[in-house]
Amino acid sequence: MEIPSLIAHIGNTPLIPLQSPNARTQIFGKAEWFNPGGSVKDRAAKFIFERALASGQLTREKILLDATSGNTGIAYAMIGAALGYRVALVMPANVSVERKKIARAYGAELIESDPLEGSDGAIVRARELARDAQKYFYADQYNNSANVHAHYTTTAPEIWEQTRGMITHFVAGVGTSGTMMGAGARLKEFNPAIQLIEVQPADELQVIEGLKHMESAIVPGIYDAQLADKQIAIETEAAYREAHRVAREEGLFVGLSAGAAIAAARQIAQEIETGIIIAILPDSGDRYLSTALWT
């Protein structure tokens, strides 16, 4: 199958320099909103689609189904529209209005789950629907190795090339954990000395869209708690502050999980003498305009 040019442009996102609190360290954000679907999740969705089609699991008769907090769902919907496949998404009812509207604009069917149950509630509901195997192909991004393979194959080599192999620290939030598991594993193969920094909400009460507090959540099957060298817990308010700061001081309009990653990267910069820190910035702030982040 010939891949539409839109989908072929997924990846190869730029590194953007960020202010560092330590003059001897450099921080760069990998600006994943440059993907055609507007987020880092385009990468995983592309690989999941391609594997499902190649294996015959996804056919014209079936609907691609998955649980999502928004970005992966938008990526599925975009690719589904480009390839001519139907997509159904289970989202918590409190996902931002912008994310719902974008997914619907691509033609996806939205199924809302209990907002109080968060992403875990969406997973449970999707699993219930997926029992109808004649109707649905359950993409299951939290347990699909194609999610990891996407970042192993694309994200890590891009960073290695962009930094000319000089990266010392890699910072990424964990939700499905595909970015850290794939890119982190590959970066360790390039240079075992690279430090992998995993970002999570500080506790189960902190809500940072796209991220999971693993101790209190349904743990993704692709997640390996032993891979990262360090975990940094970020409170929601700290992620808010950092998103606001980079918008006003650096001209970058980022989302909440990107704010959390930048906060963690700046913490690492203060703890080390010198280094090159790369933080994954999953999306831009325009998907959060109706949320407390900007209101």
Length of the chain: 295
The tokens of 20 are what? 């560092």
Q: SS3 helix, strand, coil % of the chain, rounded to 5? A: 45, 20, 35
In three-state secondary structure terms, 127 is helix
CA distance 202 to 75: 28
CA distance 146 to 167: 25
Residue 171, beta-bridge partner list: 197, 279
Contact in structure between 225 and 256 (CB atoms under 8 Å): no
Q: Which amino acid is at 241?
A: R
The tokens of 272 are what? 């080390």
Report the run of H or E that residue 241 belongs to, with start and end.
helix 236-250
Q: Which residues contact 251 (CB under 8 A, 6 or more apart)?
A: none
The CA radius of gyration of the chain, in Å to the nearest whole number, is 18
Contact in structure between 217 and 185 (CB atoms under 8 Å): no
Q: Which amino acid is at 279?
A: A
Active site residues: 41, 257
